[in-house]
Amino acid sequence: MSRDALPPLHALLALAVVAVWGTNFVIMKFALGHLPPLTLAALRFTFAMFPAIFFCKRPAGWGNLAAYGLLIGVGQFGALYIAMDGHISPGLASLVVQVQAFFTIGLAMGLTGERVRSFQLAALALAAAGLAWLMVHSNAEVTPLGLGLTLGAALGWAGGNIVARRAGQVNMVAYVVWSSLFAAPALFALAFVVEGAPAVGAGIRGADAATWAAVLWQSAGNSLFGYAAWAWLLARHPAATVSPLALLVPVFGMGASAIFLHEPLSSWKLTAAALVLGGLALNTLWPVVFKPRTVAAEV
DSSP state of 208: -
Rounded (5°) CA angle 226-231-234: 125
CA dihedral 115, 119, 120, 126 (to 10 degrees): 160
Is the confidence at residue 297, as pLDDT, over 50? no
pLDDT of residue 101: 82
Residues 51, 56: Cα–Cα separation, whole Å: 10
In a domain, 252, yes or no: yes
Contact indicator for 54, 214 with CB cutoff of 8 Å: no
Domain contains 243: yes
77: in domain: yes
Q: Can you tell me the distance from the alpha carbon of 178 to that of 268, in angstroms, rounded to the nearest whole number?
A: 41
Is 97 domain-assigned?
yes
Residue 87 phi/psi, 5-degree rounding, is: -115, -15
Residue 70 lies in a domain: yes
Average pLDDT over residues 154-169: 88
How far apart CA 88 and CA 145 sit, in angstroms, is 8
pLDDT band, residue 281 (cuts 50/70/90): confident
Is 273 within the bounds of a domain? no
Residue 135 lies in a domain: no
* pLDDT at residue 133 is higher than 80: yes
Check pLDDT > 70 for residue 294. Answer: no
Number of folded domains in the chain? 1
- Where in the sequence is the domain holding 16, given as residue range(s)? 8-105+142-263
Is residue 296's pLDDT more than 50?
A: no
Query: What is the mean pLDDT of the segment spanning 100-104?
Result: 84
What is the mean predicted confidence (pLDDT) over 182-210? 95
Residue at 121 is within a domain: no
